[in-house]
Amino acid sequence: LMMYGQMTAGSWIYIVTQGLIQGTYETFAALAEKHYGYDLRGKIVLTGGLGGMGGAKPLSVTMAGGVVICIEVDKQRIQRRLDTKYLDVMTDQVDEAIKLARDAADAGKPLSIGLLGNCADIVPAVAAMDGFLPDVVTDQTSAHDELAGYVPHGIPYEEALALRKSDPDRYIDMAFDSMAVHCRAMLDLQKKGAVVFDYGNNLRRQAMHRGVDNAMDYPGFVPAYIRHLFCEGEGPFRWVALSGDKQDIEVIDEELKQLFPEKTRLVRWLEMAGKKVAHMGLPSRICWLAYGEREKAGKLFNDLVASGRVKAPIVIGRDHLDCGSVASPYRETEAMKDGSDAVADWALLNVMTSVASGSAWSSFHDGGGVGIGYSMHAGQVTVADGTPAGEARVTTVLRNDPAMGIFRHADAGYERAFEVAEQRGVTIPMAK
Ligand code: NAD
């Protein structure tokens, strides 16, 4: 089945915000290391969207020590994030949001603020201000979808929702106009000195439909902060307890900390996640592991199931924010060294690799994060059932899947991928 599944929902391994928090935390932690040398303490992030994925941002930024203002047009979405404690406070006043942010940043305290309003109104207003410049600006409104996602400015929210149904063409027209205004304001903030990056929602490409020809002047988050990790076959790796018992996840958290004590970011994450991340649906966990590490973790899961310390099989999958399974020129494969951004072979090779390696199910999608027609990507899910055959499947899939990321980046000429291959004994099929 070839489908428009966006990402993990299409491969039946969607774990709601339990999944996104870690990826978002990883991105903001990498950004902080690159620009500020440590964490986000004392820094203010301005962003949009508090939906399924965007809702992870407030908690991720505060976990990295920073302050965040999240603009959201739907009051109920803000309330939901307050109720689940992903968000600290809400206001509908821009000035109040800025004052709260400044006070917290000056005191070095983390704080997340939901600001009710439309990004296409507020981001340009902030860009026009004299006395305030956020340190970091990004966006996670659902800009990839100009009809069912992005909400245009210039009309009240409820009227916009009605227009979506009564006159979709007019709605789309207004949404494209608003996205252009929004994207231009982000470019202005970049010119004024803010660190601006695209967070995988295709706002830049959408704004180009309305003549914002320099939309790509600010980078995507992958080339800016993630690609060096992709060269190591590193990426998000997730597991779900089929018992439905969160204690199984806690047992695995502890075991993983002991298996990888040298990975301090991972250990810090597992400790924070255990305390702060609420389970939704089947209990699950996510972390970033590289080539060699994932198969070790897979064997650990299978051993824990075999010994009965974990009550039922563990399902293992991953995101499509991945090193070797994606062709997405406005996200994962943006600005590749050899210009191979749109080469689709890697997604196809990856799905064949996971089938041959023994995944429980393999999936192939269109559209992940950026919208229909802009990307192709493959997913895999494997089951640690505690049997020797289960161990063989889990370790084979979890060795070969990240290896595809090393191959993909070596093929594109990234030195780091060759170094990692040499250090970890990966035979690269293509010459240097
Ligand atoms: P969502 O539809 O659940 O939420 C989007 C939110 O944006 C909604 O709450 C909506 O009310 C709000 N919104 C829309 N237009 C607005 C506007 N003009 N001003 C203020 N708020 C507005 O979507 P989601 O699951 O949170 O995903 C957000 C975007 O991020 C999508 O485009 C998605 O494809 C992309 N995404 C990125 C990653 C990544 O790894 N970086 C991962 C998954 C999804």
Q: Is residue 74 lining ligand 1, measured as CB closer than 6 Å?
A: yes
Q: Is 183 a catalytic residue?
A: no
Distances (CA, A) of 119 to 47, 108, 150, 181, 197: 8, 26, 10, 9, 15
What pLDDT is stored for residue 55 in this prediction?
83
Ligand 1 atom 8: the closest Cα is on which residue?
51
* Cβ contacts of 131 within 8 Å, gap of 6 or more: none
Q: From 324, 326, 266, 256, select the one nearest 296 (Cα to Cα).
A: 256
CA of 102 to the centre of ligand 1 (A): 25
Question: Which of helix, strand or coil describes residue 383?
Answer: strand
Q: Report pLDDT for 197.
A: 98
Single out the residue of 345, 339, 349, 352 nearest to residue 327, CA to CA: 345
Q: Is the CB of 124 under 6 A from ligand 1?
A: no
pLDDT tens, per residue, the chain with 432 residues: 666 667 888 888 988 878 878 888 888 988 998 999 888 999 999 999 999 888 888 988 998 899 999 999 999 999 999 998 889 999 999 999 999 999 999 999 999 999 999 999 999 999 999 999 999 999 999 999 999 999 999 999 999 999 999 999 999 999 999 999 999 999 999 999 999 999 999 999 999 999 999 999 999 999 999 999 999 999 888 999 999 999 999 999 999 999 999 998 788 889 988 988 889 899 999 999 999 999 999 999 999 999 999 999 999 999 888 999 999 999 999 999 999 999 999 999 999 999 999 999 999 988 888 888 899 999 999 999 999 999 999 999 999 999 999 999 999 999 999 999 999 999 987 755
Tokens standing for 329? Answer: 């020129």
Residues contacting 227, CB < 8 A, separation 6+: 409, 414
Distance 143 CA to ligand 1 centre (A): 7
| Whole-number Å distance between alpha carbons of 79 and 87 | 9
d(CA 229, CA 405): 10
pTM as predicted: 0.88
